[in-house]
Amino acid sequence: MSREFSRRAFLQGAGAASLGGSRLLAARRAASPGWDSLEKHQAPGWFGDAKFGIYFHWGVYSVPAFDNEWYSRNLYIEGERANTFHKLVYGPPSQFGYKDSIPTFHGEQFNPEAWAELIRKAGAKYAGPVAEHADGFSMWNSKVNPWNAARMGPRRDVVGEMRRAIRNEGMRFIATLHHQWLWGWYPTLDPSFDTSDPKYAGLYGPPAPGSPFDYHKPWSTLPPPPQAFQDEWEAKAKEVVEGYRPSLLYFDSRLNIIDERHLTDLISYYYAQAERWNEEVTVTYKGKDLPWGVGILDVERGRLADTADYVWQTDDAIDWNSWCYVQNPHFKSAGRIVGELVDIVSKNGNLLLDITPTSWGVMPEPVVERLLAIGRWLEVNGEAIYATRPWKVFGEGPTRITPGAFGDRKTPNFTSHDIRFTTRGTTLYAIALGWPGDEAELVIQSLGTSAGHIRKGQITQVALLGSDAQLSWHQGDEGLRITLPSVKPGDFAYAFKILMS
């Protein structure tokens, strides 16, 4: 499918928006039709200030808790690890399909208030659930999709309950949508599987060739989903907008398989609804899935190598290998996550961290420990993160970022010589991503007079957040030298507050 978005295409698609007789949307279209108006969308001020959000993958795939969140697809593919596991535990996929796990997805201990409180204690400013993953199971009380958590499984409106709890904790509510992946997700042409039975098409999607998942071909050469699929895709997203008023809609990749009419219809509708609510909202997207400026670029499991002149986001998981809970998790350390957050914020970005509840609705203890450790760090150092803006340079140090999506695994942990900068007014924060060890002082080369970023005498005071020690410091040509206190205030990432005239 061509990714050229024309004014004419938008006008054709925008006429189908389902706002009924809304004069608001009609006026918006008459004044500024086309992607032109949407490309002027600015990142909301709250998003630029928030810096840190949390969401979670929780669904039927959490029941087997094996390998990763692709279990629903891979269980049907001979030779896949999930297929081998499934046959051993549940039997052949021809006899026990993905749908048969739904009755065991009870979420007995799901406590939205406790989850929201934990997320708030972690320091997140926006949060929400995966509203629908690629598996076709909606986590809200859907009239469009009967395969949803309110009617089966937990028999609870997970999206609605989390919205209330998150808002009650003072955070922005978000919803993430991955449901375009349903096109081609399951092997719907194999008659031996329940995925090919028309009575289950609401869950498994319409019949589709395997080629929509051929990653070796350009997206534009692959068979697009039928209009009925796209109509339902849009209707599901509008249900989430109408019913839950998210401050942010996150779209997973492959959004470009949805045609221009449906994309422009949905996004213009969402932004128009936000005007009616008198709220600032935004969407995030991957790669080139939307025209530049329509929403906020999201770099999955990756970062940028340098400061951007636009606000962006990384979404990353607390588990190195999976976005959902699995039986043998490999969780990142709190220090690793804080270092990632600091690096991203220094480059004008936000971090949206995915966490992994069990199918019972329990937050694993290692996840809780890490979230609370991140929250304690932000309690002390949050002024160097929230509502800050990039400095002249993002930082210094030997560690090199592998930029782009999925580059984070190739990026090593930071050292005590890696420093990142943020600013708030005339205050500069220099965040050392490790403690210098036996060294008595920290040298920040970027703050030397020879670096050209700051003039002699401009620094008036230096303090270390979380420490009462009076710091001695000296600014010379080679850098700002700070004598360190004997006791470090914490276990990772140390923010020096530098006041300037």
pLDDT tens track of the chain, all 501 residues? 233 222 223 223 333 332 232 333 333 333 334 677 787 788 999 999 999 999 999 999 999 999 999 999 999 999 999 999 999 999 999 999 999 999 999 999 999 999 999 999 999 999 999 999 999 999 999 999 999 999 999 999 999 999 999 999 999 999 999 999 999 999 999 999 999 999 999 999 999 988 888 877 877 788 999 999 999 999 999 999 999 999 999 999 999 999 999 999 999 999 999 999 999 999 999 999 999 999 999 999 999 999 999 999 999 999 999 999 999 999 999 999 999 999 999 999 999 999 999 999 999 999 999 999 999 999 999 999 999 999 999 999 999 999 999 999 999 999 999 999 999 999 999 999 999 877 789 999 999 999 999 999 999 999 999 999 999 999 999 999 999 999 999 999 999 999 999
Distance CA 70, CA 305 (A): 29
Distance CA 72, CA 105 (A): 14
Distance CA 373, CA 144 (A): 41
Q: In sequence order, which residues have a C-beta less than 8 Å from that of residue 56 and are 6 or more positions away?
A: 115, 129, 130, 354, 355, 356, 357
Distance CA 152, CA 158 (A): 12
For the chain, the structural domain boundaries read: 22-384, 411-500
Fold of 411-500: Immunoglobulin-like (2.60.40)
Q: Is the dihedral of CA 192, 194, 198, 203 positive or negative?
A: negative
441-444: strand order across its sheet: 441-444, 480-483, 473-475
Q: In sequence order, which residues have a C-beta less than 8 Å from that of residue 268 and are 6 or more positions away?
A: 10, 14, 17, 25, 28, 29, 37, 38
3-state secondary structure of 497: strand
| DSSP-derived secondary structure letter, 409 | G
Closest CA to 298 of 478, 176, 216, 429: 176
427-432: strand order across its sheet: 395-396, 419-424, 427-432, 494-500, 459-464
- Joined together, the tokens standing for residue 494 give 């140390």
Q: What are phi and psi of 75, to 5 degrees?
A: -65, -20
Fold of 22-384: TIM Barrel (3.20.20)
